[in-house]
Amino acid sequence: MLDPHKWLFQPYDVGCLLIRRGMLEPSFDMNPEYLRDVTAGKGEVDFRNRGLELTRRNRAAKLWLSLRTYGVDRFREAIDHGLSLAREAQRYLSEDPQRWELITPAQLGIICFALRGAGDDEHEARVRRLSASGFACISSTRLQGRAVFRLCTINPLTSTEDIVATLDQLNAAQN
């Protein structure tokens, strides 16, 4: 499964699924009586048997137009930037190991970390407070049985300074 929604900055419904040849149609094949009159002829593609919907929407046009408009290099640069920001966040957090605990290292533009000694309620409260401030939005999740912070760095407009300021605000957001 490829997810252009995230790294290629596409609407949610633009997804790619790679399958083995010949497996798509048997997965979605349906032949109710009321569709008998609109079944494709021999040698024709019956698009209703290639997805959940009975019609073929052109979701791929969004991705195609984006690639044609901006070019592959702009997407490549944006992806590299997101990965670099995650590494910068990891570096910044690692500079204060007494305060922050790295839970998952920077990978794919996501880094998960925790405030040492903080309980689940405090992590969630800091996320809510930071989001309510309008300054930045991170999320909390559960890993290894506890609440942690989850920072996603894939916005191409985000700077290293934004990441540092977000982490500083999260640190200052008292329960």
d(C-alpha 92, C-alpha 79), whole Å:
20
175: pLDDT strictly greater than 60: no
d(C-alpha 109, C-alpha 120), whole Å:
24
pLDDT of the residue at 1: 59
d(C-alpha 170, C-alpha 24), whole Å:
46
% of the chain at pLDDT higher than 70: 95
Q: How many residues does the chain have?
A: 175
Domains in the chain: ranges and CATH: 4-70 (no CATH), 73-172 (3.90.1150.170)
* All residues at 6 or more sequence positions from 59 whose CB lies less than 8 Å from its CB, including other chains: 13, 14, 15
Q: What phi and psi values does residue 146 have, to the nearest 5 degrees? A: -145, 165
Q: Which two tokens stand for residue 162?
A: 């934004």
Please check whether residue 108 is in contact with residue 87, taking contact to mean a CB–CB distance below 8 angstroms.
no
pLDDT of the residue at 84: 97
Banded model confidence at residue 60, pLDDT cuts 50, 70, 90: confident
Write the DSSP string, 9-39: ---TT--B----TT-HHHHH----GGGGGGP
pLDDT of the residue at 52: 73
d(C-alpha 82, C-alpha 74), whole Å:
12
Give the pairing of strands 110-115 and 100-107: antiparallel
Run of H or E including 111: strand 110-115
Q: Work out the end-to-end distance of the chain between its first and last CA atoms, rounded to an integer number of angstroms.
A: 39
pLDDT of the residue at 72: 94
More confident residue, 154 or 6: 154
Task: Convert the pLDDT of each residue in 29-47 to its tens digit.
Answer: 877 888 878 888 888 888 7
* Least confident stretch, 19-33, 47-61, 144-158: 47-61
* Location of structure tokens 């494709």: 40
Task: Convert the pLDDT of each residue in 112-166 to its tens digit.
Answer: 999 998 988 999 999 999 999 999 999 999 998 999 999 999 999 999 999 999 9
